[in-house]
Amino acid sequence: MSHRIAFFLLAISLFDGCAGYTLRSRDNPFAQYGISKIAIPQFYNQSNLNGVARHFTREFTLLLQSFNGLEVVTGDDPTADAHLIGILKSPQYLHQTMSRNHETTASTYNPALTQERQDILIPTSNRIDLRLSLILIRNPEKEDIELLQSSIGEQITKGKKIIFQEQFSAGGSINLEIYRGDNSIVNSAQNRGILEKTMIQRAQTTAIAFKNRVLYVF
């Protein structure tokens, strides 16, 4: 009986310990650096994809707002203890940023379509190559931001002003919608909406990766 009681007490202590860790993980992860207020300016978009920066800015703002004891403000606020700078980057050319997979009309859809016209390639998915650089920096000057955005920005490591700098893959695959008619195959006009939804999802996934890799290390 004494062994059962001891095991029961040990189980309770372990449960309480895990519960305590869960609660503490929702507290300000930057408190040890004297940071209680963070500013998040609109992320910088150096990629070939228009309009993606707002999705990432929003998701990271929502994430940090969920921590107790951490005030989060949007935009450039000189009263903040530190700024979270986000820089989205992609390859130089659009065809490298969005590489497509194709299938032929004859082999994949309706072979009868090629009896009256030349067989063509239909794009079925896009692979997006997008990276996010995140820097938490104290009181950045204009020159600091320009240096971080430069070609050597990713080589800068932690220092007196920079608390951390991390790189994340923010890309992924997009399956395109194809409308198959009896005598035609066309790409759906909704594919622009699919890209928008996919980038929102990628922003959410990247924010979670940031939380798991960086925030819980502090």
Q: In what order do the strands lie in the sheet with 121-128?
A: 98-104, 121-128, 172-175
The CATH number for 50's domain is 3.30.160.150
- For the chain, what is the domain count? 1
> What domain range includes position 12?
2-217
pTM as predicted: 0.70
What pLDDT digit, counting tens, does each position of 45-90 carry?
Answer: 999 888 999 999 999 999 999 999 999 999 989 999 999 999 999 8
Residue 218 gets which letter from DSSP? -
The helices-and-strands tally (H runs, E runs) of the chain is 6, 11
More confident of the two residues 120 and 102:
120
pLDDT at 7 over 60: no
Alpha carbon 123 to chain centroid, angstroms: 25
Residues 11-42 pLDDT 10s: 333 334 343 333 345 899 999 999 999 999 99
pLDDT value of residue 215 = 77
Structure tokens at 59: 């998701």
Nearest C-alpha neighbor of 86 from the set 20, 166, 159, 25: 166
CA 8 – CA 26 distance, rounded (Å): 28
Beta bridge partners of 27: 68
Place of tokens 């932690």: 158
What's the DSSP call for residue 153? Answer: G
Distances (CA, A) of 12 to 19, 61, 110, 195: 10, 36, 64, 48
Beta strands in the chain (DSSP E): 37-40, 44-46, 71-74, 82-89, 98-104, 121-128, 131-137, 162-169, 172-175, 178-180, 185-187
